[in-house]
Amino acid sequence: MTEMVVAEPLWKIRLKLWVRSFKTGWELFKEKKLALFGLGVIIFFAIFGLLYPLYPMIMRNLFWKDDPFGYQTFMPYDPIIGFDPDIVSHPSPPSLRHPLGTDPLGRDILSMIMYSTPREFVLGITAALITVIIGTIIGASAAYYGGVIDTFFMRLADIVMLFPSLALLMVLSAFMELTLFRLALIMGILAGFGSITLVLKAQALTVKVRPFIDAAKSTGASDAYIIFRHIIPNILPLSFLYMMFNVTGAIFTEAVLSFLGLANIRMSWGVIIQMAESSGYLMGASIGTYWWLWLPAGVCITLLCSSFYFLGRGLEEIVNPRLRKR
């Protein structure tokens, strides 16, 4: 009997395999309530940030219908230059016009927070992506080649890990204006040569000794081909996982640098709190009176950081078999 071979293109098979492994992963993931919570919060923030353009429009129709000229002049919902002339003293507590109040310069806090949200995502994900790309390539090559390359990158990681990263970024802030993108780039590169290479190299070493690597070698595959087609795909889940933790780290570091007034970022959650601090609203007994100046932004930083961390932990329990439940 002859067998019927249905010719199916390779990409279709790959897609099917990918969909299947995604499905089983999702089944496992669904049980991690904390990870689901993290994913939910991330999606919430993503939508929240994307809705930013709608916010001034809604507010204009609600409160500025009678004064289109004033709206044009003062742009009360602009996160950077906005001002509400109808309110006597700023910072003003939350009201219908300004759901989260205004800051000492008369800007609307909610619009500042919404405006910053996509930027936090861009910063965190850019930095983490750079870190993971560098870390994965170095980890895989160090494990594959060994020898001098391995020693060099591992010692480099030792030195990078020796630097307190916040202190180093503070020094770098004196060299250049740390704009959002530059900051992401620097954080990504610094972290990429650090401890992540050690972890990914250890993982790559376990892949390197598997038989299919020898098989690939014996068919005459080039080193680059083996690294990119065989080793990296196998450590990618772990890299992806570390990316989540790095997003947390990057957002946190940016917030701290902005809070200390060392980054040159026009608007971010950290900048909002720095504004409260530098205008003296965090001093002494008045700290609780002006809570809207620091609490919403601080909560946003915390929520977004922890949700990426929750997501990372959830993925870790799927990727890392030793944490799996039996």
Partner 1 sequence: MLKFLGKRVLQIVILLFIYVTVVYWLIEAMPGSFVDQYLLNPKLTPEIRENLKRQFGFDKPAHIRYLIYMKNFLTLDLGISFSYFPTKVTTIIAERLPRTVFLFVTSTLVSYVLGYSLGKRAAWKRSGILDKTTTFVGIVFWTIFLPLLAIFNIWLFGVILKILPLNQFIDPNLWKTAPLSAQTIFIRLLLTALVFLIVFLIALLISNRLKTIPAKKTMLYTSSITTIVVSIVIWILSGYSIYAWDIIKHMVLPVLTLTLYSFAGSMLVMRDTMLDVIREDYITTAKAKGLPDNVVRDKHAARNALLPLVTNFVISLGFTVGGGIITETMFSWPGIGRAYLEALNTQDTPLLIGLLVFTGIFVLIAHLVADVLYAVLDPRIRY
Nearer CB in complex with partner 1: 33/229:
33
Smallest separation (angstroms) from partner 1 to the CB of 251: 9
95, 116, 126, 286 from 243: Cα distances, Å: 39, 21, 10, 39
A 10 A CB-CB count for 167 gives 9
> Which of 248, 265, 275, 315 is close enough to bind partner 1 by CB under 8 A?
248
Smallest separation (angstroms) from partner 1 to the CB of 227: 28
Nearer CB in complex with partner 1: 48/83:
48
Question: Which tokens in the block code for residue 145?
Answer: 């080649």
HSE-CB of 187 using CA atoms within 13 angstroms? 31
Contact between residue 315 and residue 244 where contact means Cβ atoms under 8 Å apart: yes
148, 152, 198, 225, 245 from 136: Cα distances, Å: 18, 16, 10, 15, 15
Residue 197 identity: T
The binding track of 265-304 with respect to partner 1, each residue x by CB under 8 A or -, is --------x---x----x-xx-xx--x--xx--xx-xx--
DSSP 32: -
Is the four-CA dihedral 30, 36, 42, 47 of positive or negative sign?
positive
Alpha-carbon torsion, ordered 300, 301, 306, 309, to 10 deg? 130
Smallest separation (angstroms) from partner 1 to the CB of 160: 10
Return the biggest CA–CA distance within the chain: 91
Confirm or reject binding of residue 310 to partner 1 (CB under 8 A).
yes
The binding track of 10-49 with respect to partner 1, each residue x by CB under 8 A or -, is -----------------------xx---------------
Nearer CB in complex with partner 1: 31/223:
31
Stretch that binds partner 1, among 113-121, 166-174, 182-190, 235-243 (CB under 8 A): 166-174
Smallest separation (angstroms) from partner 1 to the CB of 166: 6
Confirm or reject binding of residue 224 to partner 1 (CB under 8 A).
no
- Rule CB under 8 A: which residues touch partner 1? 33-34, 155, 158-159, 162-164, 166-167, 170-171, 174-175, 248, 252, 255-256, 259-260, 273, 277, 282, 284-285, 287-288, 291, 294-295, 298-299, 301-302, 305-306, 308-310, 313, 322-323, 325
